[in-house]
Structure formats: C-alpha cells, structure tokens
Structure 1
Amino acid sequence: MSAKTAARSNAPAPLQAVQARLGFTRPGEGLYSYAYEPPDGGPRTNITPDERLVSIADVRPVADTFSLDVEGFALVRHQSAVRDFWDEAQTLALGHPEAAEIVKSATGASRVVVFDHTLRRRMTGAEDRAAGLPRQPATRVHVDQTLRSGPQRVRDILGDQADDLLRRRAAIINVWRPIGAPARDWPLALGDAGSIDPADLLPSELRFPHRTGEIYGLAYNPSQRWCYVPDLRPDEALLIKCWDSADVARFAPHTAFEDPTTPPGTPPRESIEFRTIAFFD
C-alpha cells in the first residue's frame, strides 16, 4: 500500500447529514416581537420568516472536538439528580446548581449565576407562549442575546455588582437538555459561530409586559454551517454561547427543526434550557 493510499484509508469518514428546513429572518428595520398580546391590538410581530432548506451535519461522531470558544457550542455528559423537571421546587433546588457546575466545569469560570429556565413540551398545532400551554420548540433561528442586550442582561440580574463584574470577561451560556426521553423529535440545530457573518445577525426587540429585550434573528447565507447531535439523551446537555464579552465565538444561532428521519410515533420532545452568566477572573 502506498503512503498516499494509507493516508486516505486513515482519513475520517465524512459526516452524515440531513436536509431540513430552518426558519430564517428576512432583513428589515425595527424588527420586533411581543411575548404577549400587544397592548394596542396591533400585530404580534413585524418579522417576515424566510424558510430555507439546508444541510445539517450529524456531528455526534466528532462532538468532543467542538468548543464554546470556537464553534460556540459544546456537548457535555451529565446525569441529573432531578427526577421531575416539571416540579419547580426540584428544578430550582437541584437543577439550577447543577447547571452552574456544568458551566463552571466546561469553561473554568470563577462564578456562574443561573438566572432563568424554560421548559418545553411539543404539542401538535400549539402556538408558542399560548396561555395555559407549555412553551413550544423555538422554530426561528435566533440568538438569545445581542451585543447590546448581553451586558444589559448582566445589569438587570446583578444590579449594583454588574459594573465591576463587566470589567472582566463575562458570557451568557445556555444549558439545553432533553428530559424524559432522547430528543429525536424536533432536535436542535446549531450554527457554527465561525461560519456566521456578523452582518447576517439581525437585532430584534423582544417585548415583555415589564421590559424589552433584544435578540438576534439570522438572515440566510449559504456559507453558514449547520450541525446537530441526534438522539441527544437526558444524561447529555448542549452548552450554547449566547453572548461573550471576549473576542472569541460570541454567538451560536440555534433553532428546533423537524428532522425528516424521525420515526413515526416518536414521543414529542420535552426539554429544558437553563440560562446562565459565567464570570471569569
């Protein structure tokens, strides 16, 4: 066998991929969405969806090579002590400290604050944020924070401590995990941060009754690279970078998507995401 043939035979196998539609955003000015019924009776949003068929690579075989500071996301393995994430007391008492330790271990942060969590259970035909129903999988490609709202979120949560903390590095990182069963139904697609043109990140106001946040939608660009970890298990979690004050991967766009390979009869996806702020000395 020649050296060239030997090298070729030792090359890693190409990653498998699925073709699926993702919900991008058409560029526009003054984009907004309400998280509740608009008080003036106006439209809930002025965002125009732009659905595109993209290739989403199955990165499970190489998931250990991905990192928060390069691709903007990472896979970790962790068995939770929470028996029922729908039990708010358990989730607060056990799930929040676990999420903080997961982020600390993965990043080396000196302090991690868990400031929020969201449970989701997919229901056919249900709208997200519908009164009396669980949150639905997010089907628009987005980033939870922006260059403006990331530091503001730190100020909102930490108050008088924020200015001193923001003199050093801080990052907002989500801990996303399935609950009950593997996330085969409507899994999460992740955009490789290194493939995202900053010009394609579209600021959008997210309006709540008592505050207005800002997130990014994403314009479609054929140079974007999309990944997923199929059948993510309850003893696994994805860490997702939503903002970073350091000059590393700052934003990892993400969205739920309908995987065409999901077998009929697969249980509807249930998941939880913890939102954390990591501080570094």
Structure 2
Amino acid sequence: MAGNGVDIEETARTTQANLNYLLPGPDINRRFVSAGVEVNTGRYGPYPMTIRDGRTIKEHFRFDRHGFQLLDAPTAITDFHDKVEVEAKYQDEVRDYVKQALGADFVVAQGWMLRTSGAIPKKEKGPDGDGKPYRHYGGLQPAAGEVHIDTEPGRQQAYAQRMYDKARPGGPGFKRFIMTSFWRAFSPPPQDCPLAVCDAGSVRDDEGTPNVLWVVDKIPEGEAMFAPMDDDAQLAAAIFRHNPDHRWWYFSGMARDEALLFKFHDSDRSVGWRVPHTAFWDESFPDEAKIRESIECRTIAFFE
C-alpha cells in the first residue's frame, strides 16, 4: 500500500460533494418504490464529504479490505434499453464475472435495474398497462439519492439460506456467502452523477438503521406512509447517519466495458464486509459531464 513512505491512497485526486445521510426523524423508516419513483419516510440531509478518485490506482483496491473493486468486464449487450436482450444475456454475463472475481463455487443472479440521472419518461412512471402489480425489476429508476446499503444485516442469513435451497436443493450447504452489486455505467463518460462507494474499513459494525422495503403499485401519502404494516416480514436496507470517518471513493469516467463490483453483505465479518454507497453530483468536469445511465445486477455468491 505504501511506497517511499507515501500512502498511495493519498495520491488520488479528490473532489467535494454533498452526500445525503439520515437525519433525526420518525422512528418508522420505510422505502416505498414504484415505477419510476422511490420515496423514503426518513429525513435526509446533505453533508459535505471528500470523495477520492480511484481511477489512477484502480489496481490497489481489494474486496476483502475495501469491499469493492473496479473490474474489466466487456459486455455483449448492444442496447441496455432493450429489455428482451438484457433479460436473455446479461445475468449470465454477471454470474460469470462475479464467480471469477470472488472465486465462489456458484453465483445466483437476482435481477437487474436501470438507473438514470436524467428525466424518466412518463411511460416508465405509470403502470405497465397489463394489469399486473409493479415488480421492482428490469425497469428504469432514478439514481440513488442517500447513503445506504441494500441489505440489512439481521435478515441476510435466512434470506441466503432460502436462495441456496432454491438454487441447490439437496446441496452440501455453504460456509460463506457474499451479496454484491455489479454496477455498470453505459452512457458516455464522464458521467454527471456517478456512484460513490465507502471503504468498508471505515464503517463500524454497529452503524446502520433498518429501512424496510415496500414495493407498491402507488406510493402512499401522508400518514398512510406510517400506517401499521408487517415490516418484519419484508426485506430491508441499511441507512446511515453521518460519520466523518467514512472514506469515500469513486472511479471517474467509467467506460461501458468496466463494472464496479461491491459488497452488500459478506457473512465473513473478519474482512471488509459491507459497502455503503450513494450517487453524487460530480462537479469535476462541468463542461463535459453527460447524463449517467447505468445498470445494476445483484448477486449472491456461495462458497460450499
């Protein structure tokens, strides 16, 4: 890590940005998502943070230490807006890349989502028109606006067991699992609203507040957002209060054939086991920045 007494991380270019952390507010934290819109009951506020650009030292980062790595990941997808093409090919690609990167025995892909910093077409915001309930899968959503992790630690062991039993009925069992996001920007660089990831080593184990996920056809309003609901039976994310010790990174100018792989949850907590993340407005390239379009695919890697 060090060379000639100089920490290589301190050679990285930096930028300043406001990141949205959880503020004091209601005791009930829920995230309602529907087509083209996501709404939290929690209150978030901007905190100025330093974000380091890992582009020139990308080979330095390690999964078990930092919780993330930038991968060379060429893709065969010609049009990420073609849902049929993406559904047919992309999750197989992601499984292969994650299996190779982590050295797992097998990987289960768990769906994909497009995100954009630009305007979302009206057709993406309305119902599908087929009479079916909204599925939080394969659509177009806004860029994530607050510091979070898409899993909450207390619920993941049971969830991983269910996914393993479904994928490997009668299998020998697993010793370790890692939940990840495989994140690719496919719009031209530099992107105006890239993804920032927090060094797992700068996050305390006791940090994070559950934020319960509710996938709905229509976002509730007012007091209906706090009505009694069976939150314990739902999946949940972890949301974070401001910590000045958090050490933030991004990789500027991400290209289509790169992907940022980062941990949601690693059952081995002796290493960097989870990575808070959020989108941010990057003012480093004010005259060049372009709308960010990206695709994320979630996976669970199992080690038997």
TM-score by length of 2: 0.79
Shift in alpha-carbon separation, 1:162–1:208, aligned structure 2, 3 A: farther
- 1:47-126 pair list within 5 angstroms: 47-124=42-119
Instruction: Say yes or no: does 1:35 pair with 2:41.
Output: no
C-alpha separation in 2, matches of 1:139 and 1:194: 22
Contact 2:115 2:142 in 1 (8 A): yes
Root mean square deviation, CA, Å:
2.8
SS at match of 1:69: helix
Does the C-alpha gap of structure 1 residues 196 and 226 become closer, same or farther in structure 2, counting only changes over 3 Å?
same
The reply to whether residue 204 of structure 1 matches residue 199 of structure 2 is no
The equivalent of 1:22 in structure 2 is: 19
Q: Which residue number corresponds to residue 147 of structure 1?
A: 153
Structure 1 counterpart of 2:195, which letter?
A: L
AA aligned to 2:256 is P
Task: Decide whether aligned partners of structure 1 residues 265 and 7 sit closer, same or farther in structure 2, where only a CA change above 3 A counts.
Answer: closer
Aligned with 2:301: secondary structure?
strand
SS where residue 35 of structure 1 aligns? strand
Distance 1:166 1:21 in 2: 43
2:132 matched residue in structure 1: none
Residue 250 (structure 1) aligns with: 273
Cα gap change, 1:15/1:180 in structure 2, threshold over 3 Å: closer, same or farther? Answer: closer
Q: Shift of the alpha carbon at 1:36?
A: 3.8
- Whole-Å separation in 2 of the counterparts to 1:111 and 1:51: 39
Distance in 1 (CA, whole Å) between partners of 2:300 and 2:120 is 34
Structure-2 separation of matches of 1:93 and 1:20? 38
Q: Which runs of 5+ in 2 are unaligned?
A: 128-138, 218-232
Match of 1:267 in 2: 290
SS at match of 1:198: coil
Residue pairs, 1:128-277, within 5 angstroms: 130-131=125-126, 134-155=140-161, 157-160=163-166, 161=168, 167-182=174-189, 184-209=191-216, 212-247=234-269, 248-264=271-287, 266-277=289-300
CA contact (8 A) 2:189 2:290 kept: no
1:41: which partner in 2? none
The Cα of 1:167 is off from its aligned counterpart by 4.2
Question: Does the Cα contact within 8 Å between 2:120 and 2:142 map onto a contact in 1?
Answer: no
How many residues are matched? Answer: 268
CA contact (8 A) 2:165 2:171 kept: no
Aligned-partner Cα distance in 1 for 2:240–2:173: 27
Q: What is the distance in 1 between the residues matched to 2:193 and 2:163? A: 31
Partners of 1:165 and 1:217 lie apart in 2 by 34
Is residue 2:301 matched to residue 1:278? Answer: yes
Q: Give ranges in structure 1 of 5+ residues lacking alignment.
A: 1-5, 38-43
Amino acid of the structure 2 residue aligned with 1:222? P
SS in 2 for 1:97: helix
Maintained 8 Å contact 1:155/1:162 = no
1:200–1:220 Cα contact (<8 Å) kept: no
Where 1:57 maps in the other structure, the secondary structure is strand
Query: Equivalent pairs: percent with the same residue?
Result: 29
Deviates more, 1:139-148 or 1:116-125: 116-125
Structure 1 residues 123-172: Cα deviation after superposition (integer angstroms, max 9, x where no partner): 25989x84378311111111011112323443554455589676421111
Deviations 1:35-57, CA, capped at 9 Å, x for gaps: 249xxxxxx53201021010001
Judged with a 3 Å threshold, the aligned counterparts in structure 2 of structure 1 residues 165 and 258 are, in CA distance, closer, same or farther, namely: farther
Structure 1 CA distance for aligned equivalents of residues 23 and 74 of structure 2: 40
Pick closer, same or farther for the CA change 1:258–1:120 going to 2, 3 Å: same
